[in-house]
Structures are given as structure tokens and as C-alpha cells.
Structure 1
Amino acid sequence: MPKLTDTQTIILSAAAQRADNLAMPLPNGLHGAAANKVIGMMIGRGWLEEVDADLRKGEPLWRETGDGHGTTLVVTDAGLLAIGVEPVVVKTMAAIRIHAAQPPAPKRPTPRAGTKQAMMIEMLQRPEGATMEEIVTATGWQAHTIRGAMSGALGKKLGLVVASAKEEGSARVYRIGQSR
């Protein structure tokens, strides 16, 4: 393991604990010429690298490039090894932190049993599907209401894909395909 100063150890250790391995922000009291010297040495040894900062995510800037963009500092695999941390472990922990920070996927609503909507879904799930006339007769709804329910409630809310096909000797047949 290479010989590190206390400042270098603090910078690399803090970066290893962040989900995105950012070396920014730097420790309190490290700024100006001292920061430039330490960071320049760490970049030269391959422990840190400058990457484009994603300003939309609020990543802290190391320096501005002059064209409206900026760079930030990220610890490299060599930098992690310099403090005795296996890069695979850091990347795994980062993935776990990112996954834990994401909100759970919203649950899709389920139709209540015995409703006209449930009856329509059941008809559309049959292998032979259902024609518009069959659905109108079963539900008592008008055709435009059924088409709206297929698009809105079934498609957008429940995530069901309703496909239609014009079959020979028959009216247009509607079926529920694969869910989105």
C-alpha cells in the first residue's frame, strides 16, 4: 500500500463511502492552492480523475471548464486500492445504496370482482377474445365507453395491452395481450 498523507486518506475514504464515489466536497479547510496541490498530486498518481459534473443531479464542482460546464472528482479503482478497499466491494455497496434510495414501484390497481370492468377483462382474456357487440350486450355500455375503458382503465391504469384484429367472416375481435 502506498504512503498516503492524512488529507489524501480522508479524501479517498470519504469518496469510497459515497454512492457515486465522488471525492467532492473536499474536507473542511482544504481550498485554494493547498487543494490544487493535493488534488493535482492525487490525479497524477491515478487515485482521482476529473469527470464531467452532472449539474442536474447537483454534483459538486471541482472546477469550471469555461464553456458553461464543470468537472468533479471521482476516486478510481487505484485510489480505492491505495486505502485498502476492494473496488468490487465499493461498487456493490454503491449499487445497494442507490437501490435502497429508489422508491418502491407503485402497485398496479386490481379490478374488483363482479364489476362490468372485470366482466370485460374476462371476456377479453378468452382465447377467442370478444367483439364490440358482445361486450356491449354483456355490459350495457355504449361502444365509445368500452373503447375509452380499454384505453384508459385497462391500458393506462392496469397496464393491460388490448389488441384488436379484423378476422375473416367476423367483426373486429379484441383480446388482452401481454402486460406492459
Structure 2
Amino acid sequence: MTTPAKPKIKATNTAKRPRRMVRDPNPTVAKSAPAVDVVKTEAPATPTSQSQRKSTLALELLQRPDGATLDQLVEATGWLPHSTRAALTGLKKKGYILASEKPTDGPRIYRVTGKVAESA
């Protein structure tokens, strides 16, 4: 025994709504908001983002006399190894001289040995 197929009912008189883009303003929000007193606070002279603090931390580790291994940099910054290597490349592009040594019994050690003098 088979059950008869249900007939498909086509909806009639259905109006399509216009598509709304993601960045369109919300039409339900009131145009005029009540006035609010805004108190301005002193902004820090040099705002630093978390990535700037992390890259500074990585640079400090690399400037130590012993340098730093990739694992030490990953642990200190919380970055993934490929992101840490990209940060090393970024330091090279900023003019830092990086030395990389591979001891026979341990991981590779990275060290900043100086900075290229900028020409005037």
C-alpha cells in the first residue's frame, strides 16, 4: 500500500520583502536618541594594542644574550609557530639583524644582533 502524494500548494499573493544588506542602518532604531552628557577622559599618549605589546615582548626575548627558541617565543606571546616566524620576518623588514643558530643537541635559537643603520 502506498500513500498518495500530497499535492503541493502554491502560496498566492505573497509579497517579497526587499533584501536588507548587512551594513544597512537598522530601520527600527529611533532617529533621534535622547541627549546624553559625554565625559571625555584622557586617552593614553600612545595607544598600544595587544599585538604591539606581544611583538615588543618577542623583541625583548630575542635581544637577550642567550636569544630565544621558537618554543619560548610561542609560549611568551601565545602565537602559533607560523605566526611567530612571520613576526621574525617582520623584524627583519623593520631593519633588525637576526641570527639563527642550530645547536647539535637542541632547538634552533634566534637572536637579534643589531639594527641596520637608516640612511638619511
TM-score scaled to structure 2, two decimals? 0.51
Gaps of 5+ in 1: 1-111
Alignment of 1:83-162 (within 5 A): 115-152=53-90, 154-157=91-94, 159-162=95-98
Q: Report how many residues are paired.
A: 67
Higher relative contact order (CA 8 A, sep 6+): 2
RMSD of aligned alpha carbons:
1.8
Structure 1 ranges of 4+ moved more than 2 A: none
Listed one character per residue, the Cα deviations across residues 32-66 of structure 1 (whole Å, up to 9, x for unaligned) are: xxxxxxxxxxxxxxxxxxxxxxxxxxxxxxxxxxx
Q: 2-side partners of 1:163 and 1:147: how far apart?
A: 13
Q: 2-side partners of 1:163 and 1:143: how far apart?
A: 18
TM-score scaled to structure 1, two decimals? 0.35
Q: 2-side partners of 1:178 and 1:119: how far apart?
A: 17
Return the offset for 1:178: 2.2
Alignment of 1:7-156 (within 5 A): 115-152=53-90, 154-156=91-93
> 2:103 maps to what in 1?
167
> 1:15 maps to what in 2?
none
What SS class does the counterpart of residue 121 from structure 1 fall into?
helix
Gaps of 5+ in 2: 1-47
